[in-house]
């Protein structure tokens, strides 16, 4: 049945899904996920991505903003120059790369963890911190703008980078800020500049939770703050407000600074 979905029905179904997720005119949305389920719909790949973008833009309108990951973590610990316009995102998904390449898109300047955006507040990505997380990063801006995260095809417990912003702002002891000197291409010039990321200590028994964020989203569900919808193609959508996630998960970290780990590590280089 999915192969009989017409482009107009496809887009209309997407808009209905977004409305079910509480997305409205003038909203700011961060979208991430996997469009693999759309492979069953016999519409050209590029047209699917264009229709999905149009569905978002028609829903949030000209006062809204659509953000998406544009990370290039594959450049970390390399000498490959980062080019704000030309460096592709890496393993962020087809729609994220489609959005990044849009002629109207803005992109935050960080060689490893950048974000792209289209819409009324996308210009704010032009001036962000050199740190991937924390104050002045896109993640702090998302909280300020009360951005809604929409996950496509992948449950948000498996794709929520905001957790690392929370770890950074909470100052968890098992992470530290590392400076990376990385080449950045400006037109014809390549300049080596410092950028920062919060990274885990090596040579320790730190182990992230196997189920990662599931318990955080169970808490969101209990509060009625995690919404779900399904497109006629079988593609599933989830949404939550980043601010709700932040405020909910902060409580876990206040109670236990090691909440994101399987257990507190016994090897703690940060105590020396």
Give tens-digit pLDDT for 156-168.
999 999 999 999 9
Q: What backbone torsions phi and psi does residue 217 show, to the nearest 5 degrees?
A: -75, -25
Say how many residues make up the chain. 272
| pLDDT reported for residue 1 | 41
Q: Tokens representing 212?
A: 């990662």
| pLDDT reported for residue 149 | 98
SS3 225: coil
Q: What backbone torsions phi and psi does residue 71 show, to the nearest 5 degrees?
A: -65, 150
> From the CB of residue 157, how many other CB atoms can be counted at a distance below 10 Å?
19
| pLDDT reported for residue 37 | 62
State the alpha helices, DSSP H only, in the chain.
Answer: 7-20, 45-60, 94-100, 138-144, 162-170, 214-222, 242-255
| pLDDT reported for residue 38 | 63
Confidence (pTM): 0.94
Give tens-digit pLDDT for 29-60.
999 988 776 656 667 878 889 999 999 999 99
List all residues 6 or more positions away from 272 whose beta carbon is below 8 Å from its beta carbon.
none
Q: Which residues of the chain have pLDDT under 50?
A: 1-2
| pLDDT reported for residue 4 | 64
| pLDDT reported for residue 43 | 74
> From the CB of residue 139, how many other CB atoms can be counted at a distance below 10 Å?
29
SS3 209: coil
Where do the structural domains in the chain lie, given as residue ranges?
2-271
| pLDDT reported for residue 272 | 82
């Amino acid at each position: 049945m999915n192969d009989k979905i017409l482009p107009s029905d496809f887009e209309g179904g997407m808009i209905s899904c977004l409305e079910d997720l509480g997305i409205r005119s003038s909203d700011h949305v961060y979208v991430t996920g996997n469009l693999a389920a759309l492979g069953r719909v016999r519409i050209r790949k590029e047209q699917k991505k264009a229709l999905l973008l149009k569905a978002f833009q028609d829903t949030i309108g000209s006062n809204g903003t659509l953000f998406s990951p544009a990370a290039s973590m594959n450049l970390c610990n390399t000498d490959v120059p980062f080019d704000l316009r030309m460096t592709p995102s890496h393993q962020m998904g087809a729609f994220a790369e489609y959005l990044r390449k849009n002629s109207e898109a803005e992109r935050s300047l960080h060689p490893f963890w950048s974000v792209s955006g289209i819409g009324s507040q996308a210009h704010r990505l032009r001036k962000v911190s050199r740190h991937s997380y924390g104050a002045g990063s896109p993640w702090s801006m998302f909280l300020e703008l009360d951005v809604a995260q929409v996950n496509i095809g992948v449950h948000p417990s498996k794709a929520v980078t905001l957790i690392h912003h929370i770890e950074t702002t909470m100052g968890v002891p098992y992470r530290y800020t590392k400076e990376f000197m990385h080449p950045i291409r400006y037109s014809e010039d390549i300049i080596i500049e410092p950028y920062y990321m919060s990274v885990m200590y090596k040579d320790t028994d730190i182990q992230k939770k196997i189920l990662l964020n599931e318990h955080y989203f169970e808490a969101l569900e209990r509060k009625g703050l995690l919404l779900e919808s399904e497109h006629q193609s079988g593609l599933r959508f989830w949404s939550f407000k980043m601010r709700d996630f932040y405020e909910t998960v902060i409580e876990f970290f206040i109670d236990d600074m090691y909440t994101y780990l399987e257990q507190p590590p016994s090897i703690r280089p940060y105590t020396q």
